[in-house]
Amino acid sequence: MEKISGIGYTDGMQRIITVNRTHSPGRENPRHAHDMWEIVLYTGGSGSVMLPNREQPLIPGDIYCFPPGNAHGERSEKGYDSMWIMFDGFAIASQTVLTAHDPVHAPFRILCDLLYHEFRLHAESDACKNILSLIIGYITRFSSHTEDDARVEAVKSTLIANIGNPDFRLRKALASFGCSTSFMHAHFKKVTGVSPLQYLIDLRIRDSKAMLSIPKLTLRTVARQVGFRDPYHFSRAFKQKTGMSPADFRSGASSQRRKAT
């Protein structure tokens, strides 16, 4: 038997009607339509998703945004898990089904889990609407991504996760994406304008600027926090990127703070 947990409310023009988690055993959920929007995130299992005019594989991490009146359903022999949100009154430009896949850093799953819990604690809060707006924003952003775009986003997520890791090996990371490292390097640079290594260095220098504004953090500490083994290599990379040493940058930042006060 299908297990569903959820509650709902209405609130003026914008309504979050229900936020649910569902475990569905092997069965067919026939095509059906609603007079409201529905977002479905598949979190486990296998089968197929029945769209208005076709079927496609049910893949965990896929997310669908169905406009009102768009028939959809599922077919599964072994069962599947999903999260779904019904709502109306939120601005979405598309009137066709939007689809996307959760990136490596899993923003859809994180935000859907957060909305699920927040909805039960404070169903009528602005926080629920803000979280849903973020989910809609991510769907709009990622629905136009191709497979190659998804690879670039995955590389970016990996680089962000390793900003502070001095043992990070870029070549090994690029090799984990299912294609040659030379292809990933060239494609990443074509899309972003910089190589994966330069992208990582830019992230590290950007973070170090914020840390250098904290007087109590030593140069060695800052260097380690942004993935450099020693202050010398950090200072050299910082000067190559900014045209000044970390000490000069810190001195300038301190002067600006004094002027502001």
Question: Residue 254: its pLDDT value, please?
Answer: 55
| β-bridge pairing 80-88 and 15-24 | antiparallel
Mean per-residue pLDDT, 94-111: 88
Residue 29 is encoded by which pair of tokens? 């959920």
**What pLDDT, in 10s, does the model give residues 104-124?**
788 999 999 999 999 999 888
**Which of 233, 232, 165, 224 lies closest to 200, judged by CA?**
165
Mean per-residue pLDDT, 67-76: 93
Question: Residue 218: its pLDDT value, please?
Answer: 93
Domain ranges of the chain: 3-145, 148-251
Residue that wins the pLDDT comparison between 64 and 26: 64
Question: Residue 140: its pLDDT value, please?
Answer: 87
Question: Residue 10: its pLDDT value, please?
Answer: 40
The CATH architecture one would assign to domain 148-251 is Orthogonal Bundle (1.10)
Q: What is the largest CA-CA distance in the chain?
A: 68
Please check whether residue 235 is in contact with residue 245, taking contact to mean a CB–CB distance below 8 angstroms.
Answer: yes
pLDDT-derived band at 151, boundaries 50, 70, 90: confident
Question: Residue 105: its pLDDT value, please?
Answer: 81
pLDDT at 1 over 60: no
pLDDT at 5 over 50: no
Mean per-residue pLDDT, 212-226: 93
Q: What span, in angstroms and rounded, lies between the C-alpha atoms of 261 and 258?
A: 5
Mean per-residue pLDDT, 154-162: 90
**pTM for the predicted model, two decimal places:** 0.70
In terms of DSSP H, where are the helices of the chain?
107-121, 126-142, 147-161, 170-175, 181-192, 196-212, 219-225, 231-242, 246-260
CATH dotted code for 3-145: 2.60.120.280
pLDDT-derived band at 177, boundaries 50, 70, 90: confident
**Which of 40, 57, 159 lies closest to 151, judged by CA?**
159
Tell me which residue has tokens 């190559």. 240
Q: Give the mean pLDDT of the chain.
A: 87
**Lowest-confidence region among 6-20, 74-88, 186-200, 217-231:** 6-20
Question: Residue 8: its pLDDT value, please?
Answer: 42
Question: Residue 3: its pLDDT value, please?
Answer: 38
Mean per-residue pLDDT, 89-103: 86
